[in-house]
Amino acid sequence: MELVSLANWHDPGKRRLEAVRAAHERDEAALLELLKTYLILKGRKRATLSPKTLETYEVGVRDFLAWAWPPDSPAPLVQLLKATADDLDRYVADLQTRGSHLEGQPLKPSSIATYLASVRALYRALEWAGAAQLPQGVVAPRDPTPAYERRPALPLNLYKELLARLDPSEPTLQRDRVAVRLMAEAGLRISEVVHLLVSDVHPRERLLEVKRGKGSKQRTIPLSNSLCAELERWLRTRLAYAAAGEMRLLVNMGGRKAGGRGMTARMLRGVINAHYQALGFPERYRGAHMLRHTAGTRFYKASRDLHATARLLGHSNLNTSAIYAKMDLEGLFEVVDRIDEGD
């Protein structure tokens, strides 16, 4: 993430004047520049902040501005530099009842929490500029649905259907199969998959290096024999399709402009969802991240060890990994089937 050189934000005196001006004039672009500068210089991840995270924060701030000072209003409904905890509580309540102020769509509790986090970040930036204070004591609404219900894993029978569709004898499907297996059997996030380089794969050691993990964390993952063999086959196939100098593991197989270049997360997400749709998977089982959940449940079921599951998935908190112990629908089927056997 590059920091745009903005003298007004780097000089403390000018920073305050510019922040006050931007808030009084509803200068959305300037407020977003202040947010970006603050996050890169003072945020928890600082210069390693991902463009996706920044984009998410910017959406939340734009939504808050649309609520506090609608574009068609000559004056703010809420004074941006004097917002209180009560004001933010009203904003959260409005998100719950009305939804997005930009698109008018209902929001899930997790999205509301993200929007509130974005607004908090904006006020921390304004506080850094000496222009306002962060309202305290505002909390996001609790989602009554347990995490393991919100984020299901793909049942084993459907996963087998997906692999059966991805015929490794066809190059494009072979690539898609590698991507799916890296997520569902090695536990990678989609962003980690698309950032893999050829040099991150170590077949002789059966190891995979993940150098662009969440929060810029790195980890080394052991590979099963079958997944390692699949990766070796793909590396040979890839030679015929990769553009000169392209080092990313997964490459685009078609198109004049992108042919042979590394895949993006958006591109891979679309490819995977297309396979789900072609197979007629229930709506509950959609999304690329579900494959990582599938890996988590399989890791835990095979080991019954939260420490091993956390290590493989790159979790720093065991409570995060504990969710996968509750996602194991296969185990629950075994329980209810025993009831039938006992009748």
Q: Which of 175, 189, 238, 298 is catalytic?
A: 189
Per DSSP, 327 falls in state: -
Task: Clarify whether 212 is annotated catalytic.
Answer: no
Alpha helix ranges (H) inside 152-244: 156-165, 171-184, 190-194, 225-238
Tell me the residue length of the chain: 343
Q: Is 325 exposed, middle or buried (0-12, 13-18, 19+ CB in 10 A)?
A: middle
Q: Are 200 and 249 in contact (CB under 8 A)?
A: yes
Is residue 275 annotated as part of the catalytic site, yes or no? no
Known catalytic membership, residue 91: no
Q: Which residue has the tokens 């969710």?
A: 323
Q: What 3-state class would DSSP assign to 220?
A: strand
Catalytic residue among 211, 214, 219, 286: 214
Q: How far is the C-alpha of 253 from the C-alpha of 268, rounded, in Å? A: 12
3-state class (DSSP) for residue 222:
strand
Q: Is the dihedral of CA 32, 38, 41, 44 positive or negative?
A: negative
What's the CA gap between 191 and 306, in Å, rounded?
24
Cβ count near 101 (within 10 Å): 18
DSSP symbols for 119-164: HHHHHHHHHHTTS--PPPS--PPPPSS-HHHHSPPPPHHHHHHHHH
Annotation says 21 is catalytic: no
How wide is the angle at C-alpha 241 spanned by C-alphas 238 and 247, nearest 5°? 65
CB 26 within 8 A of CB 76: yes
CB 225 within 8 A of CB 219: no
The torsion of the CA quartet 8, 12, 17, 20, rounded to 10 degrees, works out to 100
| Angstrom distance (rounded) from CA 230 to CA 224 | 10
* 292, 293, 298, 300: the active-site residue: 292
- Of the residues 14, 275, 289, 301, only one is catalytic, namely 289
User: DSSP 3-state assignment of 253?
Assistant: coil
Q: Judge whether 148 counts as a catalytic residue.
A: no
Q: Is 189 a catalytic residue?
A: yes
Active site residues: 189, 214, 289, 292, 315, 324
